[in-house]
Chains A and B, each alone.
Chain A
């Protein structure tokens, strides 16, 4: 019963004017333990809603989430979350941010100090332990967020566009870091992104979602994540299938966007 099972999830938001929005419709996914799945899709396809349901911040109108044999009822440290930005605690220094999870569980200082130091070393922030969050660059802040999540040793890591606010160069470095962490820790990762390249490079499994209602449109199994571990990601981009897959997904999303525009014009 290992793994994350997304069982026929539907999500309907009621609007104040009596109407409703079908954010997700009959989404079923079976994610094996240790899988890295990236999720792509145009705005409004329900990918963030899906992530919030898995995280336990939202209850689905239908269906259920089952992790390692038990039903998900709410947020829990077994499912860690990495946000785009601004989810770090500015009133704590880097080390206290990373040790937040263990401290909340009431762990003794001696029990987590070593782990926190180790994680900060992995993400390359061993010299920034005492720094305040606002003294760090955006990329460093996301490194802290990754370390903070890992310090809790979750079974699943949910990433909601964690690199979305970073500049292109930092982003590339961080993509390598995510891949390395994934291989080193063997965590199940669900990563939401707007960038097709990022989804291709990081997603062992790639999910393209379609909007109105939010649903799984197409699924890929890709070799690039495995190739990219410990490698220069620019080399991976030279792989013969990389560009063709990228073009295919891009035109798929373009068509969806145009369809949305068309529908909007019809209803207007």
Chain B
């Protein structure tokens, strides 16, 4: 249900912000440069330029949805929240002889994550005790209890009554409204009802916000981010977890490239090498690196060696194929021209084939880095002592959703950083790519 509302708001934000902003700030919606003069733009991909206002709004919208659907303290418009505080309802007990009496149940609803919050001295808060109430008169006495937000409580109202349930006291009405066992009544604070056996229940209203277990508020995640940096998790700081994962990827990728590129060149240059390596490469290439994890763990254990071997294998085939297709992508006229200019085989390789295959190798390297990054996280999920994957899988066992989200964001940022970095290096090393 909440999901449908989120989706509807998101779709509404997409169209609504366009309709409103395109009228208010039309300068962001004008085509600029040469595209300004084009009359045909729908279908002309080259005329499509990302509207940066939309990009900003997209991120802002996501952030706002995060705030709006969690119990965040950030002052932004939010969805109706769960009930918090004290509420009460009355129950009417009826005896077998028909006499009735009314009692009041006072319920204190407290934060479900109260033990995760800390007081001024840094000690965790404790769940509150039952509020004190006057017992009142009649055979049905007033009761009090506590329940956590998003929780549910079956309330034994007879425990202080003069006539117990066993002796024939039944609940016939809640808040003055007649009710049968199994029935439910909505109140402003939540839902009261009777179980099938006739015991009153109370479920505080949840609103539309998600509880911390499912989605912690942004400020909690930010706080957790700094906490992980200073205090660490499972004996390693966040930087150490990240560093180990990145180090594994870099070493594994580097070794894969170091071995793979020469093999790829050999496959592109000699019949014997192509014949020799073809079956291995064609067989190993379609195997997802993740399928190798069990074998790697058996062979190498869960230490660094196993991870690096796995990432080496993940990068190896990609780099072999990239180098091989890099060689086959060399225009034969370039090779002929170089021979006619007096180059020998070594010079053909170093001056023509290697530089000419760099674009292909870089495309392969980008793919390999992406695969390695995905593989290292998965490998750490399965078995590791330290690493981002290890951090989030351990956090999930302790239901520390905030740590999982910090981990996912760091994984995303690093993956994005790798991609951007590779593109920068590519533009610097091979400026002619895509321009010939």
7 smallest CB-CB distances across A and B, nearest first, come from A77-B342, A75-B339, A90-B432, A91-B355, A101-B341, A87-B333, A134-B435
Q: From residue A128, how far is it (CB to closest CB) to chain B in Å?
A: 16
Q: From residue B66, how far is it (CB to closest CB) to chain A in Å?
A: 45
Would you call B356 an interface residue if the criterion is a C-beta within 8 Å of the partner chain's C-beta atoms? yes
CB atoms of B334 and A55 under 8 A apart: no
Would you call B418 an interface residue if the criterion is a C-beta within 8 Å of the partner chain's C-beta atoms? no
Q: From residue A217, how far is it (CB to closest CB) to chain B in Å?
A: 27
Q: From residue B279, how far is it (CB to closest CB) to chain A in Å?
A: 23
1/0 contact string of A117-136 vs chain B (CB within 8 Å) = 00000000000000011100
From A90, which residue of chain B is reached at the shortest CB distance? B432
Number of A-B contacts defined by CB within 8 Å = 80
Interface residues of A in 70-126 (CB under 8 A from B): 74-77, 79-81, 83-84, 86-91, 100-101, 104-105
CB atoms of B352 and A89 under 8 A apart: yes
Q: A56 contacts which chain B residues (CB < 8 A)? A: 339
Q: A132 contacts which chain B residues (CB < 8 A)? A: 431-432
1/0 contact string of A140-151 vs chain B (CB within 8 Å) = 000000001100
Q: B331 contacts which chain A residues (CB < 8 A)? A: 86-87
Complex: how many Å from CA A133 to CA B436? 9
Complex: how many Å from CA A148 to CA B347? 17
**Given A90-B432, A133-B436 in contact, is the A100-B336 Cβ separation under 8 Å?**
no
**Given A57-B336, A91-B355, A104-B347 in contact, is the A76-B342 Cβ separation under 8 Å?**
yes
Complex: how many Å from CA A94 to CA B106? 88
CB atoms of B343 and A104 under 8 A apart: yes
Would you call A64 an interface residue if the criterion is a C-beta within 8 Å of the partner chain's C-beta atoms? no
Would you call B430 an interface residue if the criterion is a C-beta within 8 Å of the partner chain's C-beta atoms? yes
Would you call A152 an interface residue if the criterion is a C-beta within 8 Å of the partner chain's C-beta atoms? yes
Would you call B340 an interface residue if the criterion is a C-beta within 8 Å of the partner chain's C-beta atoms? yes
From A57, which residue of chain B is reached at the shortest CB distance? B336
From B430, which residue of chain A is reached at the shortest CB distance? A91
Q: A90 is contacted by which of B338, B340, B347, B436 (Cβ under 8 Å)?
A: B436
From A91, which residue of chain B is reached at the shortest CB distance? B355
Would you call B56 an interface residue if the criterion is a C-beta within 8 Å of the partner chain's C-beta atoms? no
**Given A86-B331, A87-B331 in contact, is the A80-B432 Cβ separation under 8 Å?**
no
1/0 contact string of A3-41 vs chain B (CB within 8 Å) = 000000000000000000000000000000000000000
Q: B430 contacts which chain A residues (CB < 8 A)? A: 91
CB atoms of B436 and A80 under 8 A apart: no
Would you call B337 an interface residue if the criterion is a C-beta within 8 Å of the partner chain's C-beta atoms? yes
Interface residues of A in 30-64 (CB under 8 A from B): 55-57
Q: B340 is contacted by which of A77, A88, A105 (Cβ under 8 Å)?
A: A77
Q: From residue A90, how far is it (CB to closest CB) to chain B in Å?
A: 4
Complex: how many Å from CA A105 to CA B344? 9
Complex: how many Å from CA A101 to CA B344? 11
From B344, which residue of chain A is reached at the shortest CB distance? A104
CB atoms of B347 and A87 under 8 A apart: no
CB atoms of A100 and B341 under 8 A apart: yes
Q: B125 contacts which chain A residues (CB < 8 A)? A: none
Q: B358 contacts which chain A residues (CB < 8 A)? A: 91
Q: A81 is contacted by which of B340, B431, B435 (Cβ under 8 Å)?
A: B340
CB atoms of B436 and A152 under 8 A apart: no
Q: A87 is contacted by which of B336, B432, B435 (Cβ under 8 Å)?
A: B336
Q: A104 is contacted by which of B334, B341, B436 (Cβ under 8 Å)?
A: B341
Q: From residue A53, how far is it (CB to closest CB) to chain B in Å?
A: 13
Interface residues of A in 157-193 (CB under 8 A from B): 158
Interface residues of B in 336-367 (CB under 8 A from A): 336-344, 347, 351-352, 355-356, 358
What are some 6 contacts across the A-B interface (CB < 8 A)? Answer: A89-B338, A90-B356, A91-B432, A104-B338, A104-B341, A134-B435
Q: From residue A93, how far is it (CB to closest CB) to chain B in Å?
A: 11
Complex: how many Å from CA A133 to CA B334? 14
Complex: how many Å from CA A10 to CA B333? 23
Q: B436 contacts which chain A residues (CB < 8 A)? A: 86, 90, 133-134
Complex: how many Å from CA A158 to CA B351? 23
Q: A148 contacts which chain B residues (CB < 8 A)? A: 337, 341
Interface residues of B in 111-165 (CB under 8 A from A): none
Q: A100 contacts which chain B residues (CB < 8 A)? A: 338, 341, 343, 351
Complex: how many Å from CA A137 to CA B399? 63
CB atoms of B334 and A89 under 8 A apart: yes
CB atoms of B341 and A80 under 8 A apart: yes
Q: A104 contacts which chain B residues (CB < 8 A)? A: 338, 341-344, 347, 351
Q: From residue A195, how far is it (CB to closest CB) to chain B in Å?
A: 20
